Chains A and B, each alone.
Chain A
Amino acid sequence: MPPKVPLAPPPPWSRMVSAGVLCALLGLALVFGQAALRSQQQTSARRVGALAVADAAVAAAAEVDSGKSAKLFESIEREHQDIDYAFAVREGGVDEFGISRGSEVVHAKPPAVDAARLLDHSKRVSTDGHRALEIKQPLAVQHLFGEMADGRLLVAVPVKDSSGNGVSAVAGAVLRKTTEDSPPLWIVAVLAGLAVLLAGVGRKLPLAPRVVDTASICAVVLVGWLLAPALPSAGPAGVAVLGGSRMVAHAAVEAGGGNAGPWLLGLLLLAAGAIGWLLDDSARVFAALRKDPVPYFYVGPAILATGLLIFVPFAVGVGLSFVDGEGHFVGIDHYIEVLTSVVDPNSSTHFFRTLALTTLWTAINVGFHVGFGLGLALVLNRPHLRARAFYRLLLIVPWAVPSYITALTWKWLFNTQFGPINAMLAALGHDRIDWLGNSPLSNFGANLATNVWLGFPFMMVISLGALQSIPSELYEAADIDGATTWQKFKHVTLPLLKPALFPAIILGTIWTFNAFNVIYLVSGGGPDHKTDILITEAYYTFTVLRRTGLAAAYSVLIFAILLLYTLITNRKTRATESVST
């Protein structure tokens, strides 16, 4: 190992530059977040007004039989300047196939709203007998609002039929478009400058750099927050950015029940704090990069690929866990739902029971993996063993075959009527066992056998490698001291295996904890979800229950559990620290 060369301290301006860049980004998010929030609030106000129009349209629609409705509609459109037109539609009949035909437009200008889809509780306005209104988001009858493709808002009110159960008509209005305000971009530059200034001044103070960075960025966020609402509007420049922020603001408005300020500010402060904390490292990286950029050039593609393939999907997954299937922000509802699921025998998902089973599954599996793997490695490591390469090759085969092929093969071995395992039992005069049938235990056993088969070669290879690196002098010395075979194993072999074996066990645990292939293909979680592990349960919530957010919450929890496990094991064993000599 070459002697460590101490890094030159980062140049004084590097921190200021990185602080400025990051602050500019933050400022951008901040300013437009604020503006989007404001426009969201304006929209809400318009919606409330529009509801009154819709109510008037309902009243007008009710008069259709008396012939007064046309006049009523005209007066609605005259009185309300901010609507394009009001409409009402009544249900028509259905044809021989049950397809809605000829729904009747009582009033609509242009003569055009589809009624049928609204009328039958379905979720969006579309075609049927009338020209389609191109609606961007599904319009649930209970939602009342839909956004049309051209940006106009549509408000609709279902009119209950006489029984009170069905919907006999839909009335409402299409709102005129309004222009949106967006703030100027120069505020971003001002905030960035402020950040540079604060970071520069902060360096003179007797404080840790991290504290200075965090404090100054948070200060910038606060200033921006207070400043933003007072800014004049800036025209089209910011409209593009506004679109993105709008989604965040929309989520925040939903979460905060209209008062989303605290949410947005909290999120921004959190981000600011995190960035401030990381700045310290970034400054150091910056300095190192200046000193010798070549290594960074080499690892660049890998970092980029990892970022795109691992961290981006991961971040998206975490984000998904906070929104429901229709993209509405639900906060930590999904986590609450997962963590409060009581063990109800009629429930297909119960987190804690499954977690217990997953833990048991992992412990037994890894136990077998290490046991078999180490045992076989010891056998293979005997110095005078003949055809050792051949045995080794043979024992690695389970690892080399794709796991789903192995899983399906094992599933076949366990087949009740035709499987070789039952054929052996039958030949011995034993009854056939319905392995993958109604017994959770036999299903678990089948999964276990498959995964042990899949897992031991890895441990064997790791152990074998480590065994071969143990110098034989140590055993000779032990022999001279009169150690027994067991003593040699315990005091020489095991301690020297540890550095190789512990990281392998951590890896094996993570793999087994998420052994989706095996569970899904062999027992399928059956019978009745009793052999599900967390990852297959998450898959069930995703595929059958179609709850993307819930499945994402499961995944985040799985990640958290495994992270915790790794950190604890790591601290106890220092397993992943490189061995320094």
Chain B
Amino acid sequence: MRKSLTLQLVTAAAACFLALGAQGCKKDAAPAAEAKAAASAEQPNDNKGAVAAAAAASPTVAAVVDDDPGPASTVTVWHAYRDAERAALDKLIEHWNGTHKNTQIQALSVPPDAIIDKFQVAVPNGNGPDLMIFAHDKIGVWARDGLIQPLGEFATPERLKRFMPQTVKPLVFEKNLYGLPLAYKTLVLFYNKKMVPTPPKTLAQLVEVAKGFTKADPNADNASFGLAYEAANLYFHGPFLLGAGGAVFDEAGALKIDSPEAKKAIETVRGLYRDAKILPQGTVSGFVITSMFNDGKVPFVLQGPWFMGEIEKSVDWAVATLPELEPGKPMRPFLGSEAALLSAKTTNKAAALRVIDYLTSDEAALTRIDQGKQMVANIKTYEMPKWGDDAVVKVFRAQAETAVPMPSSAEMSAVWTPYNAALQKAIYGDTKAEEALAEAQKRAIDDIAKMKK
């Protein structure tokens, strides 16, 4: 018994190391294809028949399928996609694998909560993927830690021209481009058409309408609210903060959490919560918001493209660009540019770059928007009437014009926790906005100082 208890003790302590030492899933050992060919600007020649809509193909598509140079290899791709997005990606990969004898793509879907840790642990041990599909906001940290590498000469101006510029810019960190964009994500206003026929243009109008739907009732089943969003989360607070002209970092890149604009933004939300009383009491999770919207208990929610897959069929919904805070001052959400990033430890750079090119091609984009419901980054897609005139797509495109890319610096990762705490305190608690923000500023500075340099 004595020995086994000691063992138990060691087990408990070892548990925390397992997270650190955990091995990522080993990819097939592919003989290292020399990276030298990577830089030469190969044109995609593998999209023929990728999608039904290939008729609108770009002029770069060659007729020949599969003449991959070099030895046989496997390109591993990690992503956090689920449902439709995953199905669309799988379809693209299946097509590639069917038409390429030499290079095969192997995808691994990792839950969103786990993918960051897994990637950060696996790559330094040499077990990571060749490509990582993720939003741009981790680029700063990963580039600094040497987990991803710049695309270098592969990023020719011709290649970059096929994307909306605001989806490419966030992928640049310290003057280097780290990936090509697949899709962008921003918040928009989702509303229930049965409850609200026309969307509000200003926040004041929204509050007016929302008040009519707010009904406090001790029985939670009967209560309803005017607006629901994750108010104590900086990402969802973004439209208020950025719309008021605030930011997390100033122009020089210095941390500036406790700005007057940030204070004003919190006070606006506090007004919605305390005075207009259109928000539910206490913090609400995304899950609760979804069920409220599906049950017709709230006409307005602030959500992104992922929300479309969560709305029940019975709900008659539509989207609109976020209302103006004041006349001429629109709410501005954060923009996340989702990209295929190149691992620093890839042994297969040439093939990996070809896969990036394929996944971000205009033809692949059609599959992704059609089946994956992604707001793709490719400009050409929106020149097609089917997508250019689509009511939902139009709103997201318009919103992308005012959206501000999320900061991607390594410092930003130390901002989320204290900022969210400040929002929680100042919106739901009795702490004054400026005090909460000043505290968050101090905390973030402290954490940044402690961070790995």
CA distance A514 to B10 in the complex (A): 12
CB of B17 within 8 A of CB of A576, answer no
Q: Is the CB of B150 within 8 A of A127?
A: yes
Question: Are B39 and A127 in contact, with the CB atoms below 8 A?
Answer: yes
Q: If the complex has contacts A325-B452, A347-B446, A438-B424, are A577 and B1 also in contact, measured as CB distance less than 8 A?
A: yes
B residues within 8 A CB of A418? 220, 280, 288
CB nearest to A555 among chain B residues: B16
Contacts of B145 in A (CB 8 A): 325, 546
Nearest chain B residue, comparing its CB with the CB of A312: B21
Q: Are A346 and B442 in contact (CB under 8 A)?
A: yes
A126 at the interface (CB under 8 A from B): yes
- The answer to whether B425 touches A438 (Cβ under 8 A) is yes
Structural contact, A313 and B21, CB atoms closer than 8 A? yes
Residues on B with C-beta less than 8 A from A547 are 450-452
Cα A346 to Cα B145 in complex, Å, equals 26
Pair B281/A97 contact, Cβ less than 8 Å: no
Q: Tell me whether A310 and B175 are in contact in the complex, defined as CB-CB below 8 angstroms, given that A418-B288, A552-B20, A576-B1 are known contacts.
A: no
Q: Which residues of A contact B39 (CB under 8 A)?
A: 127, 131
Query: Closest approach, in angstroms, between the C-beta of A267 and any C-beta of chain B?
Result: 21
Which residues of chain B are near A128, meaning CB under 8 Å?
A: 150, 152-153, 176
Which among B168, B169, B452 has the greatest number of chain A C-beta atoms within 10 A? Answer: B452
A434 at interface by CB-CB < 8 Å: yes
Asked if A233 lies at the interface with its beta carbon under 8 angstroms from chain B, I say no
Tell yes or no: B205 within 8 A of A by CB. Answer: no
Contact of B282 among A119, A314, A423, A437 (CB under 8 A): A437
Q: Please, how many angstroms separate the alpha-carbon atoms of A309 and B201 in the complex?
A: 60
Instruction: Say yes or no: A434 contacts B160, CB within 8 Å.
Output: no
Residues of B within 8 A of A344 (CB): 446
Q: How far is the CA of A310 from the CA of B16 in the complex (A)?
A: 11
Given the known interface contacts A123-B144, A417-B223, A577-B2, the answer about A436 and B283 at a Cβ–Cβ threshold of 8 Å is yes
Task: Tell me, yes or no, whether B13 is within 8 Å of chain A by CB.
Answer: yes
Q: Is B183 an interface residue (CB 8 A)?
A: no
How many Å lie between the Cα of A324 and that of B453 in the bound state?
10
Shortest CB–CB separation between residue A572 and chain B, in angstroms?
A: 14
User: Residues of B contacting A526 with CB < 8 Å?
Assistant: 421, 424
Taken together as a complex, chains A and B put the C-alpha atoms of A196 and B340 apart, in Å, by 60
| CB proximity to B under 8 Å, residues A479-495 | none
Structural contact, A548 and B2, CB atoms closer than 8 A: no
The residue that A415 contacts in the complex, of B5, B282, B442, with Cβ under 8 A, is: B282
Q: How far, in whole Å, are A306 and B177 apart by their CA atoms in the complex?
A: 45
Closest Cβ of chain B to A380, distance in Å, is 25
Closest B residue to A327 using CB positions: B124
Chain B residues near A325: list those with CB within 8 A. 145, 452
Contacting pair B1 A503 (CB below 8 A): yes
| Mask of A348-373 contacts with B, CB within 8 angstroms, 1/0 | 11000000000000000000000000
Chain B 9-33 against A: per-residue CB contact (8 Å), 1 yes, 0 no? 1111111111111000000000000
Q: Which residues of B are found within 8 Å of A416, using beta-carbon distances?
A: 280-283
Give the A interface residue count (CB, 8 A): 89
Report whether B413 and A438 are in contact in the complex, using a CB–CB cutoff of 8 Å.
Answer: no
Closest to A341 in B: B450
- Kindly name the residue among A320, A427, A545 whose own CB sees the greatest number of chain B CB atoms within 10 A: A545
Which chain B residue shows the least CB distance to A114?
B152
A432 touches B452 (CB 8 A): no
> Do the beta carbons of B150 and A545 come within 8 Å of each other?
no
Fill in one digit per residue for A512-551: 1 if any B CB lies within 8 Å of its CB, else 0.
Answer: 0110000000000011100000010011111111111011
Does B284 belong to the interface (CB within 8 Å)?
yes
Closest chain-A Cβ to B21's Cβ sits at a distance in Å of: 5
In the assembled complex, which residues on chain A have CB atoms less than 8 Å from the CB atom of B223? 417
One digit per residue, 1 when the CB lies within 8 angstroms of any chain B CB and 0 when it does not, for chain A 541-570 equals 111111110111011101100110010001
Contacts of A423 in B (CB 8 A): 218-220
Interface code A418-444, partner B: CB below 8 Å = 1, 0 otherwise? 100011001100001010111000000
| B442 partner residues in chain A, CB cutoff 8 A | 346
Known: A418-B288, A552-B20. A310 touches B176 (CB 8 A): no
Pick the contact of A99 from B18, B19, B172, B447 — CB < 8 Å?
A: B172
- In the bound complex, residues from chain A placing their C-beta under 8 Å from that of B175 are 94, 98-100, 116, 119-120, 122
User: Which residues of B have CB within 8 Å of A511?
Assistant: 12
Once the chains bind, are B447 and A126 in contact (CB under 8 Å)? no
Q: Residues of B contacting A96 with CB < 8 Å?
A: 165
Alpha-carbon separation in the docked complex, A507 to B417 (Å)? 33
Residues of B within 8 A of A121 (CB): 174
B157 at the A interface (CB under 8 A): yes
Q: Is A311 an interface residue (CB 8 A)?
A: yes
Residues in chain B near residue A129, CB distance under 8 A: 153
Q: Is the CB of B20 within 8 A of A320?
A: yes
Contact of A542 among B15, B19, B447 (CB under 8 A): B19
**A202, B155: Cα distance in complex, Å:** 71
B149 close to A (CB within 8 Å): yes
Tell yes or no: B271 within 8 A of A by CB.
Answer: no
Q: Which of B109-149 contact A (CB under 8 A)?
A: 116-117, 120, 141, 143-146, 149
Shortest Cβ distance from B13 into A: residue? A559
Complexed CA–CA distance, A324 and B451 (Å): 11
**Within A33-87, which residues are at the interface with B (CB < 8 Å)?**
none
User: In the assembled complex, which residues on chain B have CB atoms less than 8 Å from the CB atom of A375?
Assistant: none
Query: CB distance B21 to A317 under 8 Å?
Result: yes
Secondary structure class of chain B's binding surface, majority of residues: helix
Q: How far is the CA of A124 from the CA of B149 in the complex (A)?
A: 9
Whether A100 lies near B424 (C-beta < 8 A) is no
User: Once the chains are docked, how many angstroms separate the CA of A545 from the CA of B5?
Assistant: 33
Set of chain B residues within 8 Å of A577, measured between Cβ atoms: 1-2
Q: Which B residues are in CB contact (< 8 Å) with A548?
A: 20
Q: CA of A436 to CA of B220 in the docked complex: distance in angstroms?
A: 18
Least CB distance, A22 to chain B, in whole angstroms: 23
Q: A545 contacts B447, CB within 8 Å?
A: yes
- In the assembled complex, which residues on chain A have CB atoms less than 8 Å from the CB atom of B117? 543
Which residues on the A side are within 8 Å of B5 (C-beta)?
A: 503, 506-507, 566, 570, 576
With both chains docked as a complex, state the minimum distance between the C-beta of B286 and any C-beta of chain A, in angstroms.
13
Indicate if B439 sits at the interface (CB-CB under 8 A).
Answer: yes
Would you call B288 and A415 a contact (CB within 8 A)?
yes
Residues of A within 8 A of B14 (CB): 309-311, 313-314, 317
Does B69 count as interface, using CB distance less than 8 angstroms? no
CB atoms of B17 and A527 under 8 A apart:
no
Q: A349-B450, A437-B428 are in contact. Are A314 and B1 (CB under 8 A)?
A: no
* B429 located at the interface, meaning its Cβ lies under 8 Å from any Cβ of chain A in the complex: yes
Residue B7 is within 8 A (CB to CB) of chain A in the complex: yes
Residues of chain B contacted by A437 (CB below 8 angstroms): 282-283, 424, 428-429
Residue B414 CB within 8 A of the other chain: yes
> Is B272 in contact with chain A by the CB < 8 A criterion?
no
Residue A95 at the chain B interface, CB threshold 8 Å? yes
B282 touches A97 (CB 8 A): no
**Scoring A residues 5 to 33 as 1 if CB is less than 8 Å from chain B, else 0, what string do you get?**
00000000000000000000000000000
Query: Does A234 sit at the interface, judged by CB under 8 A?
Result: no
Cα(A506)–Cα(B9), bound, Å: 10
Q: Measured between alpha carbons, how far is A502 from B11 in the docked complex, in Å?
A: 19
| B215 touches A (CB below 8 Å) | no
Say how far B452's CB is from chain A's closest CB, in angstroms: 4
A511's nearest neighbour on chain B, judged by CB, is B12
Interchain nearest-CB distance for B258 vs A (Å): 13
Provide the residues of chain B in CB contact with A417, threshold 8 Å.
220, 223, 280-282, 284, 288
Q: List 8 A-B contacts (CB under 8 A).
A: A127-B153, A314-B17, A347-B443, A423-B219, A434-B281, A545-B414, A546-B145, A552-B17
Given A317-B16, A426-B219, 20 other A-B residues pairs in contact with their CB atoms under 8 A: A97-B169, A97-B177, A99-B172, A117-B176, A121-B174, A126-B150, A126-B176, A127-B150, A132-B152, A134-B35, A311-B10, A320-B17, A320-B20, A423-B219, A539-B16, A540-B417, A545-B452, A558-B16, A562-B9, A562-B12
Query: B interface vs A, CB < 8 Å?
Result: 1-2, 5-21, 35, 39, 116-117, 120, 141, 143-146, 149-150, 152-153, 155, 157, 160, 165, 168-169, 172, 174-177, 218-220, 223, 280-284, 288, 413-414, 416-418, 421, 424-425, 428-429, 431, 439, 442-443, 446-447, 450-452
